[in-house]
Amino acid sequence: MKLHLGLLAFAATVATISAGAAQAAASIAVPAPGLYTYSQEGLTLSGTAAVTLPDVIVTFGNNLTYQDDILITLAGTVSLVPDVTPTLVTCSGAGANAVGYVSLLTNGWKFRVTDVSGITVGASCTFRGLKVTAASLSSTSGVLTYQANRGLTTPVVVVDGPVTSGPVIVAKSQFDITVSPKLNGIINIYAARKVFFDAETTAPGNLPPPNGVRADTFNFNTFNSGNPAIATWTGPTVVPTYNTLTISGDFSWVDGTDADLTCDADEFPSRVVGYVGWNVGSASDCTKLVLSQVLPVGNVAAQGYFFVPGDIVLNPTDYEGSVEWGYALSSDPSATSKTIRQFDPGAWTLNAAQVYIQYMPYGRDISRIVYAANRGAEPVPVTADITANGSKFTCSLGNAQQQSVTMLSLLLDVCVFTHGITQGKVAILLTFVAPEQDIEVYSAYVTGSGDRGTVINTSNGRSFFYGTGVNFTPTPIPIP
């Protein structure tokens, strides 16, 4: 018995060596050009409908025997039963009926060697008509995998592979937006914050003096056939039905032709200039600009600029953008959906420091404490923009002295009281003609009982970077 078992072990070793000697480089691939691109929107909108994959070509790296299993998978997909026809599997270097379909796998299909002569190393088979659900294909990694297992053997014995194809099937969006240049105006504190510090140099906002300092170019490109453009899509696609671009932020500077303190859509064309093929939407107001693309929706390079009035105070703003495309399935216009892309339109900053005190209480037996620390080598002017009781006004608070702490609360109270405010809460935007890093502000109030309440502002609170809306990350202080 021991001798018999030893001979069996020896025979198995010889078989393994023989199989190893026959091995070559197995592969799984798709035909040239070798990359197939599907529309994510088309696939998603098609739902559970069947999508036929490109041909899958397997080249065998080892001899396979009768009843060996051939496994093919496509990561992340829901596979469907193929139509079993004479063209489902065709082989080169093997018999006409060398491989037959068996069953579905998770993400793939099982086939089996049906030729009693087996398959010789180096032969190849083409699997044509494999299908998956459209929605599952929209999120695939696009990687095909092949391996062969010894038939009717437990535990599983892998005799060829596994090998992968790399991402030969790609699902990408038809829609995209790029921006160049972004909004990048620097509001000029030395011109009362009514124009930009530098004249625009990029077309079309590069206006001759004196208007160059009133313009900030914002150009963008929208795409509905991929970015970069896809010449030929594989499988279902969609057709865009509308395109709406929204930029959110402070657009109060648009209101300048009437006294109603609103930004009407008809005021925008003189302030948002250019953008041929786009219309200002009726939803545009003091908090947002809405542009709608003129139908039919197409790939477009839009050029234009924001043109400030020159006599209205501008506010630093970190703008936010989004684009919404509506679309319908090319093969079924009744199937519709939409997609939204977020983008960064840019920001308007200030060549000064701003600190926002969100509220400061006024009333009987309440006093205020507002101090400014100036680390700079020069005294700097300070102004306060006050918002209270439905009105806005601006006052000078003198200078913040160099390398000193200056009390601002006395002049601040004079400013507020002069405008008739003795009760309630006010919001205060302090502007210092100084580098941002030189200024820190402390704000608090004291009640008649002596209780002190510290008021968090954008200097000591660090919720915004000196009022610009740009996120701020403090630099750690090194430990000695």
As a whole number of angstroms, the distance between CA 393 and CA 386 comes to 5
As a whole number of angstroms, the distance between CA 430 and CA 411 comes to 12
Given pLDDT bands bounded at 50, 70 and 90, which one contains residue 84?
A: very high
Q: For residue 285, is pLDDT > 90?
A: yes
Contact 140/107 with Cβ under 8 angstroms? no
- What does the pLDDT average to over 226-249? 95
Given pLDDT bands bounded at 50, 70 and 90, which one contains residue 256?
A: low
Q: What tokens appear for 307 in the block?
A: 């043109």
Contact 293/221 with Cβ under 8 angstroms? no
Which of 23-32, 250-259, 349-358 shows the lowest per-residue confidence on average (mean pLDDT)? 250-259
For the chain, what percent of residues have pLDDT higher than 90? 82
Q: For residue 16, is pLDDT > 90?
A: no
Q: Which residues pair with 127 in a beta bridge?
A: 56, 89
Q: For residue 444, is pLDDT > 50?
A: yes
- Tell me the pLDDT tens digit for each residue of 88-138: 999 999 988 999 999 999 999 999 999 999 999 999 999 999 999 999 999
The model carries a pTM of 0.78
Closest CA to 193 of 77, 363, 308, 66: 308
Q: For residue 44, is pLDDT > 50?
A: yes
Q: For residue 480, is pLDDT > 80?
A: no
As a whole number of angstroms, the distance between CA 207 and CA 229 comes to 33
Q: For residue 17, is pLDDT > 90?
A: no
Contact 126/57 with Cβ under 8 angstroms? yes
What integer pLDDT is reported at residue 119 of this predicted model? 97
- What does the pLDDT average to over 234-262? 88
Which of 114-128, 151-165, 458-472 shows the lowest per-residue confidence on average (mean pLDDT)? 458-472
What integer pLDDT is reported at residue 2 of this predicted model? 43
Q: For residue 468, is pLDDT > 60?
A: no
- What does the pLDDT average to over 48-68? 97
Contact 272/218 with Cβ under 8 angstroms? no
Across the chain, mean pLDDT equals 90
Phi/psi at 7 (5° precision): -65, -40
Closest CA to 321 of 177, 203, 184, 205: 177
What integer pLDDT is reported at residue 23 of this predicted model? 63
- What does the pLDDT average to over 382-399? 94
Domains of the chain and CATH, by start: 21-172 (2.60.40), 176-349 (2.60.40), 352-454 (2.60.290)
- What does the pLDDT average to over 288-314? 95
Q: For residue 9, is pLDDT > 80?
A: no
Burial of 12-38, coded b for 16+ CB within 10 Å and e otherwise, reads eeeeeeebeeeeeebbbbbeeeeebbb
Q: What tokens appear for 341 in the block?
A: 């892309």
- Tell me the pLDDT tens digit for each residue of 31-41: 987 789 999 99
The string of DSSP letters for 310-363 reads: SSS----EE-EEEEEEEEEETTEEEEEEEEEEEE--BEEEESSEEEEEEEEEES
- DSSP character at residue 45: H
Going 252 to 254 to 260 to 266, the CA torsion angle's sign is negative
In this structure, the strands spanning 288-293 and 215-217 are unpaired
Q: For residue 69, is pLDDT > 70?
A: yes
Side-chain-facing half-sphere of 315: CA atoms under 13 Å = 18
Between 152 and 460, the more confident residue is 152
As a whole number of angstroms, the distance between CA 22 and CA 359 comes to 81
Closest CA to 168 of 36, 59, 26: 36
- Tell me the pLDDT tens digit for each residue of 314-369: 999 999 999 999 999 999 999 999 999 999 999 999 999 999 999 999 999 999 99
Given pLDDT bands bounded at 50, 70 and 90, which one contains residue 259?
A: low
As a whole number of angstroms, the distance between CA 28 and CA 78 comes to 19
